[in-house]
Amino acid sequence: MKNTAATESRVSTYLLDNCAPEARARFAALEVLFDPGTIRHLNGCGVAPGWTCLEVGAGGGSIAKWLVDRVGVTGHVVATDIEPRFLEALRGDPNIEVRRHNIVNDPLPEAAFDLVHTRLVLVHLPERDRVLERLIAALKPGGWIITEEFDTFSVPSRPLVDGADSVLTVHTAMTQLLTEHGANGHWARLLFGRLRTLGLTGVEVEGRIFMARAGSPGLALMRANYEQLHGEMIATGYITRREFDVGLERLNGADFVMTLPILWAAWGRRP
Ligand X SMILES: C[S@@+](CC[C@H](N)C(=O)[O-])C[C@H]1O[C@@H](n2cnc3c(N)ncnc32)[C@H](O)[C@@H]1O
Q: Of 247 and 261, which has the nearer Cβ to ligand X? A: 261
Please report how close the Cβ of residue 258 comes to ligand X at its closest, in angstroms: 18
Pairing of strands 257-259, 139-151: unpaired
Query: Does residue 5 contact residue 100 with C-beta atoms inside 8 Å?
Result: yes
Whole-number Å distance between alpha carbons of 184 and 179 = 6
Smallest distance, Å, CB 48 to ligand X?
22
Shortest Cβ 134–ligand X spacing (Å): 11
Longest CA–CA span in the chain (Å) reads 56
Helix (H) or strand (E) holding 262: strand 262-269
Q: Which C-beta is closer to ligand X: that of 68 or that of 125?
A: 125
Nearest CA to 167 among 258, 263, 262? Answer: 258
User: Considering beta carbons, is residue 43 or 74 the nearer one to ligand X?
Assistant: 43
Residue spans of alpha helices (H) in the chain: 23-44, 62-71, 128-137, 169-180, 191-197, 217-235, 241-250
Q: Which is nearer to ligand X, 110 or 245 (CB)?
A: 110
| Least distance in angstroms from the C-beta of 175 to ligand X | 14
> C-beta of 241: minimal distance to ligand X in Å?
25
Can you give the binding site for ligand X, defined by CB under 6 A?
A: 12, 14, 16, 18, 27, 30, 56-60, 80-83, 102-104, 119-121, 124-125
Q: What SS3 state is found at 198? A: coil
Residue nearest ligand X, CB atom distance: 59
For the bound state, the minimum distance from the C-beta of residue 20 to ligand X, rounded and expressed in Å, comes to 11
Question: Quick one: 63 or 252, whose CB is closer to ligand X?
Answer: 63
Q: Which is nearer to ligand X, 18 or 216 (CB)?
A: 18
Task: Write b or e for each residue in 253-271: b if 16 or more Cβ atoms lie within 10 A of its Cβ, otherwise e.
Answer: eeebbbbbbbbbbbbbbbe
Q: Cβ of 201: how many Cβ atoms within 10 Å?
A: 11
